[in-house]
Amino acid sequence: MTPLVRSVRSADTLTRDALAVLQPGFTGTTAPDWLLRRLGEGLVSVGLFGRNVADPAQLAALTGRLRAEREELIVAIDEEGGDVTRLEVRGGSSFPGNHALGAVDDTELTRAVARELGRRLADCGINLNWAPSADVNSNPANPVIGVRSFGADPQLVARHTAAYVEGLQSAGVAACTKHFPGHGDTAVDSHHDLPRIAAGLPTLHARELVPFRAAVAAGTRAVMSAHILLPALDAEHPATLSPAALHGLLRAPEAEGGLGFDGLIVTDGMEMQAISATYGIERGSVLALAAGADAICVGGGLADEGIVLRLRDALVRAVREGELPEQRLADAAARVRALAGRARSTGTGEGAAPAPGIGLTAARRALRITAAGPYRPLRESVCVAAFTPLANIAVGDETPWGVAAELTRLLPGTETATCTAEAAAAAGTAALVDGLLTAAAGRHLVAVVRDVHRHPWMADALHTLLAARPDTAVVEMGVPQAPPQGTLHLATHGAARVCAQAAAEALTGRRPSPDE
């Protein structure tokens, strides 16, 4: 009698494949024992966040310890530069973000910035960067993309996305272009809810997909999906869970209207509310794999062994119950292992010549200055009014922003007054501004805003402040959508530390000496 052929492979193979498709995080600056054990059992990827980083030496030691357990390993990080930094989460980035690079519109500069960023990542043992953002920031009200985008013009975003991919990968770090098929036309942050984009397919092809096509042509090794609903593609499932988006659009051959991408498809964080609150993380992960994703990113919020075991077991169970084809899981695991092996053979960023000052050079070139009349550089300590919006989760509230620290370096004695929406609501705009005027009495005033066009309380307070002190200089560190205001208006196109340094230099007319 002919024996029955098992439809499901051995438990060990299935478990190893389920672990292989996970990209989990952990807490602390050293590798926990549970993570090292799971690497030995089949885990192929680890995601790092700001909580895992103290300094380059510590980070290199951490990745070295991970690779001592598994040599062919993907170590990923979310290092966009600019507002979203993990390498310099507590001090601010040495690189301006995408919006500043788009404002300069010099693809060679973008390529050089990405190459230097990649070199630093590679030197720390990181070989996959969840960047660049290829989103076209077509909606000025977007609460989560903004300065993370190169701009609102699809062609500009496309050429800089390609340059970024090329620069990053020339340093030995795989790019993960995000957030497919485009998170720019949203007014909702998918960390909190499920955004919906009403654009039709012609608009999608003419706008959102243009940069992703450029990224694929440039050889991006990975693409990250977005938790956004596009009814023109799939009326039921967000892109991360949609076969029409991942298999039917991203993977489909160009001759069939797809992008023909053959690399690794990574999900955005599965604990984000757009997925977890609607489908649950386990169910969402199964659906993502079935739709065509290869790697499940989790760990930004849930970062312990429990979540790894929950997702591993959910995937194994889905295969055994026929909900997830075993070959789909095997193919996904094979793609992850292939990238891990390729990343190992690529080596470190030693071949990339160091360019330590390229970030500040780019930030200076991105600065846009509008003067209402003659302006004399600041020579004495000033009062900085920092209008501080609630930080979005992608940026986090650990990373400092504003110009006060850089101005204090140049003008000792500079003080800061922080203004928030809560303070404006509690005290009223008039009282808030009166407090600022009192703090700034007898001194020049510098108002720092971030996306003033998106925050009515900020716009009202700034208008009231300028009516009382028209000599105020204004520094916009978000998207400069609102008309320039103030005796001097500086648009930095981002809140990275180097953007603040460039603004402080312009305000004072001086640059610090290397030993200052």
Distance between CA atoms of residues 324 and 327, nearest Å: 9
By the 10 Å C-beta count (0-12 exposed, 13-18 middle, 19+ buried), 169 is classed as: buried
Catalytic residues: 191, 268
Residue 219 DSSP one-character state: T
Q: Who contacts 395 (Cβ-Cβ below 8 Å, separation ≥6)?
A: 83, 84
Give me the residue label for tokens 């850089």. Answer: 406
Q: CB atoms < 10 A from the CB of 268, how many?
A: 27
Count other Cβ atoms within 10 Å, centred on residue 423: 17
Looking up tokens 């007319």, which residue turns up?
509
Tokens of 58: 């510590």
- State the sign of the Cα–Cα–Cα–Cα dihedral 186, 188, 192, 196: negative
179 upstream amide cis, omega within 30 of 0: yes
Name the residue type at position 462.
Answer: L
Q: How many CB atoms lie within 10 A of CB 250?
A: 25
DSSP sequence for 143-195:
SSSGGGSS-S-HHHHHHHHHHHHHHHHHTT-EEEEEEET--TT-SS-TTTS--
Torsion, Cα of 459, 465, 471, 473 (10° steps): -40
Q: Which residues contact 48 (CB under 8 A, 6 or more apart)?
A: 25, 59, 62, 75, 76, 77, 86, 126
Backbone angles phi, psi at 458, to 5 degrees: -70, -45
Where does residue 420 rank: exposed (0-12), middle (13-18), buried (19+ CB within 10 A)? Answer: middle
